[in-house]
Amino acid sequence: MTAQPIPETPFEAEGPQPLVREIPPGAPYPIRALGPLRSAVEAVQGKTQAPVAIPAQSALAVASLALQGFADVETLGGSRPVAIFALTIAKSGERKSACDEPFMRPIRAREREAMNAYREDRQAWENRHTIWKAQRDKVVTGIRKSGGDRAAAEAQLRVIGPEPLAPLLPDRIVTEPTFEGLTKLFAVGQPSLGLFSDEGGQFLGGHAMNSDNRQKTLAAFNDLWQGNPIRRTRSGDGHQTLYGRRLAVHLMVQPTVARAFMADPLAADTGFLPRFLICEPPTTIGTRMHDGAREDWPSLARFAERLAAILETPLPINPDTGGLQPRCLPLSREAREALAAFHDRVERSQRPGGEMAHITGTASKAAEQAARIAGVLALWRDLDATEVLTEEMANGIELARFYLLEAARLTDAANISAETDRAEQLRCWLLQRWHEPEVLVRDVQRDGPNPLRKSDKARAALTKLEQHGWIVRLDTGTVVRGSRRREAWRVVRTVGAAE
């Protein structure tokens, strides 16, 4: 029997290879888990038509700032602050500022009112201080000149009394502080502060986070998240310890800034990054039609009224240290059992090969994050709440689980090098906006993405695209647009390559 010839399979050249693995979309934000904050978040989302996670982050962070001075929350490892560190990743045009402003407005208004009162109090204090200093100097000078009765002088000083305490600065919000500046503000200002910025790159790329200060800043913020005292020793200022200070953080950053920050080993290894609730919601740009906007002023008014009431409530202050004396908010028995079960599920997911094995730093803090969120929701419901209820813990767990999944999803994207990121920007630009069949280095410099306007970066990005098959180098001397070119590439436009 004659063997039949095997038909030849036609050769097909391998198409361009992806530069990066596509990051899968995240899960929908569990807005129902926001409990008493939900209606205000939906109102802001309806007005701005931004991704719902953006106003949700703002609402949680603002509520945390308002409440963190009143109570710590019970966790499986002891009581911890209800302070929340949030990192929202969204590109320009996602209406980050528009989402943040309605939640921040009552705090800004409170700061303005308090500043007017502060100026009057400051003037009165300066007058008292001038009189006190003159009286004290007179007694001290008399002793020095005459060598008189020291016992009588000490009695006079006791009558004069201690130095009058200056009024505290009323500011509650800072935007890009150094650790030293933050410490000084905690010493002369409010014991409960918020680092809030809709341009968070200014802080992450600023003086506090440069190579000389980064490790010190990260360690200091970690201590504040834990509720530890601030300890600072300087040759000129001596040693200073500040007890009972609290800090909430919400940084809104662009994706490129976030990628660099999340890829920094120091940020992860010190535990700074794992303390953040991180999310990068899918964009809504291009879908926000004017007729689709919804107004819900009553929900925003209720939020503002509740926030104002909390801000007007005096904080529990220790008169000796000037720091906070927050009470402990316990968990109900059912809430504690639910938190323990969540802790164990996350712990098992960190085993080698497990779902969270690559982000153990973040995963190990998930149960505490759930307790903090639940504490915020309980105190927003009732500033005098006696315990965290089961429903509030269920909501805290659902939100903590969402943020944990987001951290797992975004970690891969953060590991992309800056060079690969620039090449990916160039790839998208070539397929979407460049319509010539060939491309030159100077084309990229002149018309390409902003990060590629220098020849070395443009050439490096083109070389990487060449290595992955998205462009093909032409022979030296090939005529392109009427001239012989020493260096040029042909763009490979495959079916489905454009994004």
What's the rounded Cα separation, in Å, for the pair 471 and 443? 14
The packing angle between helices 96-146 and 53-67, to 10°, is 20
Q: Which of 414, 439, 470 is the last residue of a domain?
A: 414
* CB 215, CB 264: distance < 8 Å: no
Same domain assignment for residues 403 and 431: no
For residue 439, being part of any structural domain is answered with: yes
Same domain assignment for residues 331 and 193: yes
Same domain assignment for residues 304 and 438: no
Helix (H, G, I), strand (E, B) or coil at 468: coil
Instruction: Give the pLDDT confidence score for residue 236 in this predicted structure.
Output: 58
For residue 249, being part of any structural domain is answered with: yes
For residue 351, being part of any structural domain is answered with: yes
* CB 414, CB 262: distance < 8 Å: yes
Instruction: Give the pLDDT confidence score for residue 497 in this predicted structure.
Output: 42
For residue 347, being part of any structural domain is answered with: yes
Same domain assignment for residues 176 and 274: yes
Same domain assignment for residues 390 and 487: no
What's the rounded Cα separation, in Å, for the pair 202 and 249? 14
Tokens of 77: 């490892």
Instruction: Give the pLDDT confidence score for residue 132 in this predicted structure.
Output: 87
Q: Using CA atoms in the order 96, 100, 105, 106, what is the torsion angle rounded to 10 degrees?
A: 180
For residue 331, being part of any structural domain is answered with: yes
Q: What is the CATH number of the domain that holds 363?
A: 3.40.50
For residue 96, being part of any structural domain is answered with: yes
Q: Which of 414, 434, 468 is the last residue of a domain?
A: 414
Same domain assignment for residues 437 and 387: no
Same domain assignment for residues 382 and 435: no
Q: Which of 364, 393, 414 is the last residue of a domain?
A: 414
Counting the structural domains of the chain, the total is: 2
Nearest to 380, CA basis, from 171, 99, 71, 88: 71
Same domain assignment for residues 344 and 195: yes
What's the rounded Cα separation, in Å, for the pair 57 and 493? 40
For residue 158, being part of any structural domain is answered with: no
pLDDT tens, per residue, the chain with 499 residues: 555 555 555 545 556 777 766 667 889 999 999 999 999 999 999 999 999 999 999 999 999 999 999 999 999 999 999 999 999 999 999 999 999 999 999 999 999 998 888 888 889 888 888 988 888 888 777 776 666 667 777 788 888 888 888 888 889 999 878 888 888 899 899 999 999 998 888 888 887 788 778 888 898 899 999 999 988 766 556 667 899 999 999 999 998 888 878 878 888 888 999 999 999 999 999 999 999 999 999 999 999 999 999 999 999 999 888 899 999 999 999 999 999 999 999 999 999 989 999 899 999 999 999 999 999 999 999 999 999 999 999 999 999 999 999 999 988 666 666 678 789 889 999 999 999 999 999 999 999 999 899 999 999 999 999 999 999 999 999 999 999 999 999 999 865 443 4
Same domain assignment for residues 426 and 390: no
Same domain assignment for residues 361 and 449: no
Instruction: Give the pLDDT confidence score for residue 3 in this predicted structure.
Output: 54
Instruction: Give the pLDDT confidence score for residue 4 in this predicted structure.
Output: 58
Same domain assignment for residues 376 and 449: no
What's the rounded Cα separation, in Å, for the pair 330 and 474? 70
Q: What is the CATH number of the domain that holds 475?
A: 1.10.10
* CB 392, CB 374: distance < 8 Å: yes
DSSP string, 119-170: HHHHHHHHHHHHHHHHHHHHHHHHHHHH---HHHHHHHHHHH-SPPPPPPP-
Same domain assignment for residues 248 and 313: yes
Nearest to 275, CA basis, from 396, 358, 361: 361
Query: What letter would DSSP give residue 8?
Result: P
Q: Which domain holds residue 480?
A: 418-491
For residue 295, being part of any structural domain is answered with: yes
